[in-house]
Amino acid sequence: MQSLRPLEDTKIVCQPIALFGQAFALSCALWQRVRCQTHLRRAIRIGAPPLKNPHHGISCQEEHITYAKLSRAALGGAVAIVMSNIVSNILFFQLGRPLLFENEAQSAKVVAVLFEMEPLPLMFTNGPLYMAIAALIGVIHGLVFYWIEPALPRGIVARGLAFGAILWALMALYFEFHTPFNMFGEPVALVAVELVFWIAVVAVQGLVLSIIYGRSRDELASPVE
């Protein structure tokens, strides 16, 4: 049976993702610096309070934090989903292969779709492309994380695990029902095993994203006088 080559594929994909993230963060920071300096000069000229942004009602410092956190969330989402895909490959296709795919109880349709029917899944035929597309989806996950982050628990670990729990409930649970069970006839016991594996996968995704994101933007923002 074929499996992904996670280390080789990740080296190919992660470097351009990291460079793009750095360029994106730098461009956001430079753009925000220009905006703040422009408003500061205008405020000084007319005698207005210098730190207040007239469009958003927040300070230049707070707006800088917002764009910095947005870029970290996007980059963190891309890196996190690549890392979680590596964990998924190890759990499902290496450690779990004897139980999931060499088990006589497993549905023949599952085995055929994954390993026999042409064309084979993209993750087997073009790992770098698969990882690149996954990274783009991870950016969207990162932006969702940024959006709901103030409502998540405080603390990097608790926040990451909470986001992982959301991913498990909204993504993994329905996927396992709709595809392996509904479409491929996978036995319930094996679906349950895969759901346990998914807990580890989404926990890694949430933790890596939370670590890269860093401190909450609410903790970093200072009140405007």
pLDDT (mean) for 29-35: 53
- Give me the pLDDT at residue 59, please: 54
Peptide bond into 119 cis (omega under 30): yes
Using alpha carbons only, what angle is made at residue 66 by residues 56 and 51, rounded to the nearest 5 degrees? 50
Cα 95 from chain centre:
24
Q: What is the pLDDT of residues 143-191, one digit of tens each?
A: 999 999 999 999 999 999 999 999 999 999 999 999 999 999 999 999 9
Supply the mean pLDDT for the chain. Answer: 82
Rounded average pLDDT over 195-213: 98
Going by pLDDT thresholds of 50, 70 and 90, the confidence category of residue 199 is very high
Return the percentage of the chain with pLDDT > 90, whole number: 64
pLDDT score at 67? 80
Where exactly are the structural domains of the chain?
6-220
pTM of the model: 0.74
